[in-house]
């Protein structure tokens, strides 16, 4: 209880550094969730309804990538974008942008895989009806996506949750740089490493509160 | 066909794991008998040493501890982190002895009654300032570290800071203070990474930035740091003093908790580190690996 009080106090104190950390955390999580959803949801739905040879293999690869360890994603992005790496000319090492890149690599398979299994159930009946009245496949995917919209909210929340809770990849590519790329999870790790356990717990409480708020805001759309 | 193969594979795995279990219990019972026969002397409880990354990353402990084990029979579990967390471990009852390097934090630790010993300045080494070889802030010409820092700030050249309350970070803050400038942490050029020495050096290398580091860690990582080199060393404000502190088992904070401090082990370690043998070993360290002495013991 004392820690929750401290967390709220910390947030209300308007500390410049804390505000930056919260802002960076939200920017990173929202952008990576949106980008991953734009990529992952349509592909996932297409995968869910289509029947073709090799679908099993694609689904298995997707499911494997759903369990991709964050540090592995971080390492891949790090090796690609470091200044001597093949994409080094982008010069985005240790920035919020590269953190989003790593997150998209992590979350897109999760969103794809969940969208595929969510749409698979509804796909059969809908495809038959749609075929009957002569709707093209692209139109069918659109209809199916509308049909699955409530599930998508839940899926996006999973993606957001994974993104906001992530520490390994973002500290590897983002560098946990104060006032620039520090996010809540890396700040918690750092405060613990400094021996400031109280601040670390307060930050943890604040992170949980933010997650709770986001989930509460999304809840009505999800249950629809 | 595929299903059959999978089933066969699973069966094989199960057989092997069963076999492995059996093998394990056999060796376990065997070793149990052995230790029963040999248990003349009770096994000494391992010493928990909390220390800074600079001592561990430089390889000094890996080099010393086998000798210590041979002489005293103690195993040492090393938790290597910044001075801040090392002291944090000790305050949580999770360390028996400290080898750290931040005067201010050590003094607080002693004042709070956590130390069983006085602050024993035990050995020192030197910090160096590394940076890109073209030296945009021209610090190679600086008289000391403070002037070098002033030049870096004036030029606005990228500078990577530990930013983790470690001894090295404290040293950096002291130098900024004596330089008479406080870097604006939100400025583009000041990069506070909140990380250990090795990681900080990697980031400085990646960003082609200036960085202050203990010499030992830099030398041990030199091969993987092509973009930076030592630009300023051996100034009188760059000495780095390490202390050995035993944790006080009767500290007020431990009362009524499960904290069990291995004082015997801690004292044995502190005593051994001051022995003639350890002093010689420490003085020799670095000469064979890097061609120069890295740590200097302060004679009591």
Residue A197 sits in a domain whose CATH number is 1.10.3720.10
How open is the CA angle B126-B129-B132, to the nearest 5 degrees?
150
pLDDT digits 0-9 by tens, A104-140: 999 999 999 999 998 888 888 888 888 788 888 888 8
Q: Are strands B296-297 and B120-132 parallel, antiparallel or unpaired?
A: antiparallel
Mutate to test the interface with B, among A24, A187, A195 (most CBs of B within 10 A): A195
In this predicted structure, the answer to whether residue B26 has a pLDDT above a threshold of 50 is no
pLDDT tens string, chain A, 224 residues long: the values are 677 777 777 778 878 888 999 999 999 999 999 999 999 999 999 888 888 888 889 999 999 999 999 999 999 999 998 877 888 888 888 899 999 999 999 999 999 999 999 888 888 888 888 878 888 888 888 888 888 888 999 999 999 999 999 999 999 899 888 888 999 999 999 888 777 888 888 899 889 989 999 999 988 887 65
Nearby residues of B11 by Cβ (< 8 Å), 6 or more positions away: none
Measure Cα distances from B41 to B73, B262, B269, B289 in Å. 11, 17, 19, 37
Q: Which two tokens stand for residue A217?
A: 């805001």
pLDDT in tens, A61-75: 999 999 999 999 999
Test B192 with A186 for CB contact under 8 angstroms.
Answer: no
Domain count, chain A: 1
Residue from B206, B226, B228 to probe the interface with A (highest A Cβ count within 10 Å): B206
Residue numbers in B near A196 (CB within 8 A)? 84, 165
Tell me if chain A has a CB within 8 Å of the CB of B206. yes
Cα(A182)–Cα(A177) distance, integer angstroms: 5
Chain B residues close to A194, C-beta within 8 Å: 82, 84-85, 88, 164-165
Residues of chain B with CATH 3.40.190.10: 47-124+240-297, 126-238
Distance CA B300, CA B294 (A): 19
CB atoms within 10 A of CB A140: 19
B101 with B270: CB under 8 angstroms? Answer: no
Domain housing A57: 2-223
Domain range B126-238, CATH architecture: 3-Layer(aba) Sandwich (3.40)
- For A154, phi then psi, to 5°, come to -60, -40
What is the CATH architecture assignment of B47-124+240-297? 3-Layer(aba) Sandwich (3.40)
**Is ipTM beyond 0.85?**
no
Q: From chain A, pick out residues whose CB is under 8 angstroms from the CB of B204.
A: none
Going by the DSSP 8-state scheme, the letter that residue B247 receives in this structure is B
Interface check A83 vs B, CB under 8 A: yes
């Amino acid at each position: 209880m004392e820690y929750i009080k401290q967390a709220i106090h910390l947030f209300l104190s308007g500390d410049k550094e804390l505000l930056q950390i919260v802002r960076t955390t939200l920017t990173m999580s929202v952008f990576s969730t949106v980008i991953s959803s734009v990529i992952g949801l349509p592909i996932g739905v297409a995968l869910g309804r289509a029947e073709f040879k090799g679908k099993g293999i694609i689904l298995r690869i997707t499911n494997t990538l759903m369990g991709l360890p964050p540090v592995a994603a971080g390492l891949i992005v790090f090796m690609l974008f470091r200044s001597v790496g093949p994409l080094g000319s982008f010069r985005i090492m240790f920035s919020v942008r590269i953190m989003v890149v790593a997150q998209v690599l992590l979350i897109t398979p999760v969103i794809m895989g969940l969208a595929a299994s969510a749409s698979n159930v509804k796909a059969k009946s809908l495809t038959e009806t749609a075929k009957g009245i002569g709707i093209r496949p692209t139109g069918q995917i659109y209809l199916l996506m509308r049909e699955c919209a409530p599930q998508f909210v839940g899926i996006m929340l999973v993606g957001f949750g994974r993104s906001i809770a992530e520490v390994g990849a973002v500290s590897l590519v983002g560098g946990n740089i104060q006032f620039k790329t520090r996010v809540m999870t890396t700040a918690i790790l750092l405060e613990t490493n400094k021996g400031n356990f109280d601040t670390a717990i307060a930050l943890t409480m604040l992170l949980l509160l933010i997650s709770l708020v986001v989930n509460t805001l999304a809840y009505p759309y999800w249950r629809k | 066909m595929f299903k059959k193969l999978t089933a066969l594979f699973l069966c094989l795995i199960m057989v092997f794991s069963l076999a492995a279990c059996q093998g394990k219990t056999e060796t376990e019972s065997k070793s149990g008998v052995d230790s029963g026969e040999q248990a003349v002397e009770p096994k000494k409880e391992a010493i928990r040493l909390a220390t800074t990354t600079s001592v561990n990353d430089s390889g000094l402990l890996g080099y010393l501890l086998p000798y210590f084990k041979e002489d005293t029979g103690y195993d040492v579990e090393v938790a290597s982190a910044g001075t801040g967390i090392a002291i944090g471990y000790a305050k949580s009852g999770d360390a028996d002895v400290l080898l750290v390097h931040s005067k201010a934090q050590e003094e607080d630790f002693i004042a709070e009654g956590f130390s069983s010993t006085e602050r024993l300045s035990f050995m020192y080494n030197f910090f160096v300032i590394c940076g890109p070889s073209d030296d945009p802030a021209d610090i190679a010409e600086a008289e000391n570290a403070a002037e070098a820092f002033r030049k870096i700030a004036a030029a606005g050249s990228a500078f990577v800071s530990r930013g983790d309350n470690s001894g090295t970070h404290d040293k950096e803050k002291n130098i900024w203070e004596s330089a008479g400038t406080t870097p604006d942490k939100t400025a583009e050029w000041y990069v506070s990474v909140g990380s250990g020495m090795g990681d900080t050096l990697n980031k400085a290398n990646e960003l082609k930035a200036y960085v202050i580091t203990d010499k030992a860690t830099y030398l041990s990582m030199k091969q993987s740091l092509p973009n930076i080199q030592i630009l300023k060393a051996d100034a009188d404000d760059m000495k780095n003093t390490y202390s050995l502190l035993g944790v006080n088992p009767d500290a007020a904070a431990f009362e009524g908790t499960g904290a069990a401090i291995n004082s015997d082990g801690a004292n044995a370690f502190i005593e051994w580190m001051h022995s003639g043998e350890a002093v010689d070993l420490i003085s020799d360290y670095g000469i064979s690996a890097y061609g120069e002495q890295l740590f200097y013991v302060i004679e009591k």
